[in-house]
Amino acid sequence: MRVESVATAALPSGLAALGVPVFSHADGPRLAAPAAGLPEGLQLPAELDPSWCRRHGFTGKVEQAVTFRSDPSVRAPSPEGDDTSATGSSDPDIVLVGVGDSSLLDGDRGLESLRRASAAFVRSVGQADAAALLLPGSVGLRGDESAAAVAEGAVLASYRYDDFRTGENPGRLDRLVIVGGSVADATLAGAGAARGVRIAESVSLARDLVNEPPSSLTPEKFTEFFVRRFADSPALSIEVWDEERIALERLGGLLGVARGSAQPPRLVRAEYQPVDPIEIDGRVPHLALVGKGITFDSGGLSLKTAGGMETMKTDMGGAAAVLGALDAAAALGARIRITALTPLTENMPSGSATKPGDVLTARNGKTIEVLNTDAEGRLVLADGLSLAVESGPDAIVDLATLTGAAVVALGKEIAGLLGNNAALMAQVQAAAERAGEPIWPLPLPDDYRNHIDSEIADMRNVGRPGQAGSISAALLLREFVGTVPWAHLDIAGPARSDESHRYLAKGATGFGVRTLVALVTSEAFAHWLGHAAAG
């Protein structure tokens, strides 16, 4: 989808629809954008007819969108959006788009309301060449922030993965025009829209990778895509470790999980060096990102059910999110240094697969007794986190579709946040709120460390049956970060959507990309990171 921004007076012709934001209010819906300045034929009433709104169930709540005819003498109001009236008028449909209570349209919650409102508008338009959406006025958001949220929601809502469809694909909106008031307003909005589009494109990249069939996205093919994507980026350098190098580097967790697969494992190490770095006390803040990359998870010898395997191509969602975040960070000019590590393998059953009862030795020398081969993500992350520590970062953030227990605790839309540093966790949670990706902190109590005690090794890879599964997994990960500030996002629930709604399409969501982008492009986080390193 192409997105652009114009002043109200420069509204282009040939639009299929014009979206008009509407506030919800105790006395009924109220227009949220100034009616003045629109071209002739598109004038809006000073107030909406309450009886018309009641008939169409329209209250102005977020995610509502209903078609409205601006001139009843020409075309009667219609919820269907059919603009082929007997008069042959070519004026666009006017679509009322709910943006919620005006008192709530500020800050992080306001940005999320605009993302969802924009998505509702795009879905209501369907297949069309072009449509325009007015930015709401009198809200506590800057024009560039509003436009970024609108662009982000629109592009994400129009996402489709149709690489393997042979029939006619469902249509989508080709071009969205964001209408920003004056020329100066439109210029500011244009800058914000460009940022929103770029972030959404990186989320879509992560979605594409997760949606790709697992036989088409083996560990080797994933790394090839990684290298191609960043080949022309001067700020990024990529190193790929093959199976021989992985063995040489003593990545016992990754090798242990990979044993059962005919596809060899890979590890990608990416370094981002900012073109315009921020320096604090003479050094550039440094963040390490680690993403779990199980390109297909059968469960190994602890085999999943047939139904449990249906969506297991999603198990590399953490690695895909790290790739997407790097993609956006480089494009947006993040000012901190980033080291990214993605251990990649399949988890398959075979005569050579790791067996329950085996003991693996991770990169840092610690040993893990494997009692369930379906708890494999923490094994590859043990190596990834060990390598991250060796890179000398100021902090580490990892993302992984790690535990079903996180879904039980938090459902399908909220990620779990755990870690060893409250200040870093607060930074990650603030970034997630700005991005509109819900996360919730879970405790990591020392008293639960005995849940992963092993009789023969330093630890075992599963905790107590039916108890604190997400916590026991994170406690194992904590063994591999030492004293480095570390935050872990368990994205097992929100990495995949069971339906198309809001700005999500059924399938991969790209969850985590927007949170990481908000984090690494934040000047406040850069300063926190630099001062955290200074002690």
Tell me how far CA of residue 478 lies from CA of 53, 219, 265, 481, in angstroms: 55, 26, 24, 6
Helix (H, G, I), strand (E, B) or coil at 201: helix
Average pLDDT, rounded, for the chain: 92
Q: With pLDDT > 90 as the criterion, what percentage of the chain qualifies?
A: 81
* Length, in residues, of the chain: 535
pLDDT of residue 81: 41
Amino acid making up residue 300: G
pLDDT of residue 70: 45
- For the cut 50, the answer to whether the pLDDT of residue 234 exceeds it is yes
CA angle 115, 149, 395 (to 5 degrees): 105
Among 21-35, 190-204, 302-316, whose mean pLDDT is lowest?
21-35
With contact defined as beta carbons under 8 Å apart, do 324 and 203 qualify?
yes
pLDDT of residue 44: 76
pLDDT of residue 86: 34
Across residues 366-381, what is the average pLDDT?
98
CATH topology of domain 2-203: Leucine Aminopeptidase, subunit E; domain 1 (3.40.220)
Give ranges for CATH 3.40.630.10 in the chain.
Answer: 212-534
Q: Which residues of 208-218 are buried (b: 16+ CB within 10 A; e: fewer)?
A: bbbbbebeebb
pLDDT of residue 69: 64
- For the cut 70, the answer to whether the pLDDT of residue 383 exceeds it is yes
User: What would the pLDDT profile of 320-345 be if each residue is shown by its tens digit?
Assistant: 999 999 999 999 999 999 999 999 99
What one-character DSSP code corresponds to residue 135? P
- For the cut 80, the answer to whether the pLDDT of residue 75 exceeds it is no
Pick the CATH number of 212-534 from 3.20.20.100, 3.40.630.10, 3.30.450.30, 3.40.190.170: 3.40.630.10
pLDDT of residue 85: 37
Between 164 and 260, the higher pLDDT residue: 260
Between 174 and 184, the higher pLDDT residue: 174
| Conformation bin of residue 518: beta by default, left when phi > 0, alpha when psi is -120 to 50 | alpha
- For the cut 90, the answer to whether the pLDDT of residue 181 exceeds it is no
Q: With pLDDT > 70 as the criterion, what percentage of the chain qualifies?
A: 94
pLDDT of residue 42: 75
pLDDT band at 68 (very low <50, low <70, confident <90, very high): confident
User: What would the pLDDT profile of 109-147 be if each residue is shown by its tens digit?
Assistant: 999 999 999 999 999 998 889 999 999 986 788 989 999
Find, among 438, 463, 261, 308, the residue nearest to 375 by Cα: 463
Between 216 and 140, the higher pLDDT residue: 216
Amino acid making up residue 489: L
pLDDT of residue 9: 81
Across residues 363-391, what is the average pLDDT?
98
Among 256-265, 375-384, 525-534, whose mean pLDDT is lowest?
525-534
pLDDT band at 71 (very low <50, low <70, confident <90, very high): very low
Give ranges for CATH 3.40.220.10 in the chain.
Answer: 2-203
Helix (H, G, I), strand (E, B) or coil at 312: helix
pLDDT of residue 82: 42
pLDDT of residue 13: 87
User: Which residues fall within 8 angstroms of residue 167, CB to CB, at 6 or more apart?
Assistant: none
pLDDT band at 170 (very low <50, low <70, confident <90, very high): low
Between 532 and 32, the higher pLDDT residue: 32
- In angstroms, the CA 266 to CA 150 distance is 38
pLDDT of residue 182: 78
User: What would the pLDDT profile of 470-509 be if each residue is shown by its tens digit?
Assistant: 999 999 999 999 999 999 999 999 999 999 999 999 999 9
The shares of helix, strand and coil residues in the chain, as percent rounded to the nearest 5, are 35, 20, 40
pLDDT of residue 72: 41
Among 37-41, 217-221, 439-443, 488-492, whose mean pLDDT is lowest?
37-41
Kindly list the catalytic residues: 304, 378
pLDDT band at 73 (very low <50, low <70, confident <90, very high): very low
Query: How many Cα atoms sit within 13 Å of 69 on the Cβ side?
Result: 17
Helix (H), strand (E) at residue 282: none
CA angle 349, 352, 356 (to 5 degrees): 65
Q: Which two tokens stand for residue 513?
A: 């990309």
User: Which residues fall within 8 angstroms of residue 12, CB to CB, at 6 or more apart?
Assistant: 6, 130, 132, 177
- In angstroms, the CA 276 to CA 337 distance is 10
pLDDT of residue 74: 39
User: What would the pLDDT profile of 1-60 be if each residue is shown by its tens digit?
Assistant: 899 999 888 888 889 999 999 999 988 899 998 766 777 767 777 788 899 999 999 999
Among 90-99, 291-300, 315-324, 368-377, whose mean pLDDT is lowest?
90-99
With contact defined as beta carbons under 8 Å apart, do 321 and 510 qualify?
yes
- For the cut 60, the answer to whether the pLDDT of residue 247 exceeds it is yes
